């Protein structure tokens, strides 16, 4: 079996100082990639900053014979994102791979959720992914090669008690990633979305230690690395990954109900009478894109 390599490629991994990010960075470096390990060095809520987390990962990569530099800039504004990309260019001559992994938690029930906690989570997860993707986008297009991985979550797909801000932000990344996949296709800029299940500072708050011990981040990193490879042609995919399990998600919907009303406007009572049919997912239809979704209505 031929080995997938990243020689001559440069990867930026945000949130690369711990957990999933450090696992991604180390694996890519072990396969020949030059890696920019970006981490602001704050705590899991986004407070504080420091250089030790990124420095530690860089030291481990170099000790293993790999190439890496540390970055401490924030992803949540364009100035920081552009500084990270410029650092990659100065150190290694270019950039080819971006893994948007940086994130924070501000968990609380919705009744206690404040505007600051909402904004802070969106600023890192959503605006951070926007700023970083925007900062590499033209480079990727011009060189006719780019790989972007968005890090979403099962909380985004399904919701999770006490994580209204986090869940909303993570679902936003699904739509963002699928849109970039469409816009980057003609220039070989491929974007995919992963929803990891792995031990990290963030999952340590919601999973018991005995389960965390079995959720090695390296299980996720192998999948992310494949998506970042030149061999992969996948784009626009959404995947749940971790613990050695890998699942591809597509939106399925019920066959539905069509009102016979001439103007397409049923009564409220008609909706009541057919609500069970509308909800019936016993024979779901897989929808592959917005055109296919709209066709059901426009026809």
The residues that are catalytic are 166
Which DSSP string corresponds to 112-125?
G--HHHHHHHHIII
CA nearest neighbour of 23 among 67, 57, 53: 57
243, 171, 280, 247: CA torsion to nearest 10: -20
In contact, 83 and 89? CB cutoff 8 Å: no
The angle subtended at Cα 207 by Cα 204 and Cα 210, nearest 5°, is: 100
Count CB neighbours of 264 within 10 A: 9
The DSSP code for 125 is I
In contact, 149 and 194? CB cutoff 8 Å: yes
The DSSP code for 163 is B
């Amino acid at each position: 079996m031929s080995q997938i390599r990243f020689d001559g490629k440069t990867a930026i991994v945000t949130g690369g100082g711990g957990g999933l990010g450090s696992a991604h960075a180390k694996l890519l470096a072990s396969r020949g990639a030059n890696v920019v390990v970006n981490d602001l060095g704050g705590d899991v809520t986004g407070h504080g900053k420091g250089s030790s987390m990124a420095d530690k990962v860089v030291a481990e990569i170099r000790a293993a014979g790999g190439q890496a530099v540390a970055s401490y800039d924030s992803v949540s504004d364009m100035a920081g994102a552009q500084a990270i990309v410029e650092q990659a260019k100065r150190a290694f001559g270019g950039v080819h791979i971006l893994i948007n992994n940086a994130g924070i938690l501000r968990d609380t029930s919705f009744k206690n959720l404040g505007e600051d906690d909402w904004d802070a989570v969106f600023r890192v997860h959503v605006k951070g992914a926007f700023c970083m993707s925007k900062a590499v986008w033209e480079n990727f297009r011009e060189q006719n090669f780019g790989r972007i991985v968005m890090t979403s979550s099962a909380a985004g797909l399904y919701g999770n008690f006490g994580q209204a801000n986090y869940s909303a932000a993570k679902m936003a990344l699904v739509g963002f990633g699928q849109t970039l996949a469409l816009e980057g296709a003609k220039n070989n800029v491929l974007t995919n979305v992963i929803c990891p299940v792995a031990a990290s500072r963030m999952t340590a708050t919601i999973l018991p230690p005995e389960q965390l011990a079995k959720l090695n981040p390296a299980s996720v990193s192998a999948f992310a690395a494949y998506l970042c490879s030149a061999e992969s042609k996948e784009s626009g995919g959404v995947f749940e990954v971790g613990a050695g399990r890998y699942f591809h998600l597509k939106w399925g919907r019920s066959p539905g109900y069509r009102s016979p009303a001439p103007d397409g406007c049923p009564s409220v009572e008609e909706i009541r009478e057919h609500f069970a049919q509308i909800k019936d997912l016993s024979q779901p239809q897989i929808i592959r894109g917005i055109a296919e979704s709209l066709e059901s209505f426009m026809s």
